[in-house]
Chains A and B, each alone.
Chain A
Amino acid sequence: MGRYVIRRLLQMIPVFIGATFLIFVMVYALGDPVAALFGDKAPDPATAARIREDLGLDKPLWQQYLHYMGNIFRGDFGTAFNGQKVTELMASAFPVTMKLTFVAIVIEIIVGIALGVVSGLKRGRPLDTSLLVLTLIVISVPTFVSGYLLQLLFGLKLGWVRPTVSSDAPLNELILPGIVLALVSLAYVTRLTRTSIGENARADYVRTAVAKGLPRRRVITKHLLRNSLIPVVTFIGADIGALMGGAIVTERIFNIHGVGYQLYNGILRGNTPTVVGFVTILVLVFLVANLLVDLLYAVLDPRIRYA
């Protein structure tokens, strides 16, 4: 197990470097952060050159990258162009997005797995078919559409919740945004669980458990569910990273000042330190989440052993 973890960690290094370098190149080489700083006005050449020098933008790209990464490992993510430390922005943004992702994942797990189990056990019945059609519809509705429709319905027409989230983002205000963020993944979790349960329900060990006279509830929770959840766990683990990066739309609709909000503003204004810093963290979250998922396999399925 230990050796497996070390090997995986070593494999993560080139992927981490590659992904961060790619983002670095895309932000720097494709855009011009100094021009972005001046907005629509053309910058005075001398001033622009001065800013370039101050920010180290006159050096070759790979030197800038090495310099930047060196700083990151000392905990210095640089300063956003407005003078605010990127780490300060992160300290205010990440907790909010983590809360939002947490709400979304919890909804996904509870509702998604419950619907999937019901659907999988009733395979082919009207309930299963209607759930299947429903998930297809939910997957088709882009987040920005479902976001506005639910905001319009619950926030403005019915007035059950505040249409936008206040700045300290308490958990109860994040429920509606959490549902919006979770919706598409929720439908996928339902479908995955359904397929998995449907396949395993015919397995020999389930028949044995039933033949032993175990109560139905115990067969489902202890035998069927544990074996069927493996693909679902993979999906949810990979989804954590995707949800944190994909919260841009949800955060924009509900005016939540999280990672997506900072990134969106950073990208629009060509604010390189913010963008590269936030994406670096997101890539790390994604890679670590995937590793944890693989390790969870061994817990869920004792047949899997890592050497």
Chain B
Amino acid sequence: MPDKTAEKVTTATGEPIPAAAVATDAGPAPAKARSLWSDAWHDLRRQPLFIISSVLILLLLVIAIWPGLFTSASPRQADLAKHYLQKPQWGHFFSPEWLGYDGQGRSIYARVIYGARASITVGVGVTLCVTVLGTFIGMIAGYFGGWIDSILSRVTDVFLGIPFLLGALVVLNTFEKRSVWVVILALAFLGWTQIARVARGAVITIKQADYVMAAKALGASTTRILFRHILPNALAPIIVVATIALGGYIAAEATLSFLGIGLTEPTISWGGDVSAGREQLRNAPFTLIVPSVMVSVTVLSFLMFGDAVRNALDPKLR
């Protein structure tokens, strides 16, 4: 294994890795040194977990962006003549009556298709906000150390001390109309701590590396050291945590909407539909089960994706 690759892997995961763990390639040693990222990509393409989850995520993204491609029915058109007693017609694939009608006579199939956009926007939005905020705070705490680190670490502890779901309930309850953006900001406000801790840990290890010393000796500015030398090398563990967290945020949004403190009408959300469906748990369980399955499958796709990315970027865990 060429030196450069070995060094990259070592610094990115924060701890030295036995050579055996790094040299997992079955084929002959590559002629050119591969970076951590191309090494990871090389691995990823072979993982069934990655292939299955990417296909599912791509499908979900297409549904979220162009829901009209999948159904001609409107998710808001209510026809009380067709209310929940209208059972699913399992043979009628992709037609409005396929998965039955909910309590207000709206096509459940159309609603789960149109519900994808809100869930995925919240998941991706919160993950982006949390990653930027957490990385920034963690990097500053880790790089500068001293009293800055003490203060930032205590602030992190404070936010960690508040149970996530409870904090989100309190914050969101103060808004009357909760759009996708309000939910994103509220969850990001409470959720940045995990990434901040990971980023801080990674930065503390990396700042002692020879190439950082060299950059300092050459007179590079603090901003340049932070963004050109430290950030790229600290990115791997941050991306691992962020991708795994994405699924969790989608589940959190669905849970909050289910409790009636997440997204509000007119936004269509799976959690809200599950909550509405529980009225008829005995007579029409499908009104609850269909959106539940959609949430679970979506979360599962993102978790599998996160797992695959972690396996590729963190060879120690194999």
Chain A residues in contact with chain B, CB under 8 A? Answer: 14-16, 18-19, 22-23, 26-27, 30-31, 136-137, 139-145, 148-149, 151-152, 156, 195, 241-242, 245-246, 248-249, 252, 263-264, 267-268, 270, 275, 279, 282-283, 286-287
A156 to B254, CA, bound (A): 24
Given A249-B259, A275-B170, decide whether A19 and B161 contact each other with a Cβ distance below 8 A: yes
Residues of B within 8 A of A18 (CB): 154-155, 157-158, 161
Residues of B within 8 A of A140 (CB): 247, 251, 296-297, 299-300, 303
Residues of B within 8 A of A16 (CB): 161
B307 touches A136 (CB 8 A): yes
B255 touches A144 (CB 8 A): yes
Residues of A within 8 A of B285 (CB): 152
Chief secondary structure at chain B's binding surface: helix
Residues of B within 8 A of A137 (CB): 296, 300
A156 touches B281 (CB 8 A): yes
A-B pair number, CB within 8 angstroms? 119
Residues of A within 8 A of B292 (CB): 144-145, 148-149
Q: Does B122 contact A (CB under 8 A)?
A: no
Chief secondary structure at chain A's binding surface: helix
B166 touches A286 (CB 8 A): no
Q: Does B44 contact A (CB under 8 A)?
A: no
B166 touches A263 (CB 8 A): yes
A268 to B158, CA, bound (A): 24
Residues of A within 8 A of B261 (CB): 267-268
Given A19-B161, A140-B303, A148-B292, decide whether A27 and B169 contact each other with a Cβ distance below 8 A: no
Q: Does B289 contact A (CB under 8 A)?
A: yes
Residues of B within 8 A of A23 (CB): 162, 167, 170
Please, which residue of chain B has its CB at the minimum distance from the CB of A163?
Answer: B281
B6 to chain A, nearest CB (A): 21
The answer, among B154, B166, B259, for a CB contact under 8 Å with A245, is B166
Instruction: List the 4 shortest-distance A-B pairs measured between CB atoms, nearest first.
Output: A245-B163, A18-B158, A140-B300, A30-B174
A156 to B280, CA, bound (A): 12
B173 touches A286 (CB 8 A): no
Residues of A within 8 A of B307 (CB): 136
B288 touches A148 (CB 8 A): yes
Q: Does B69 contact A (CB under 8 A)?
A: no
Residues of B within 8 A of A151 (CB): 281
A267 to B163, CA, bound (A): 14
A142 touches B154 (CB 8 A): no
A142 touches B295 (CB 8 A): yes
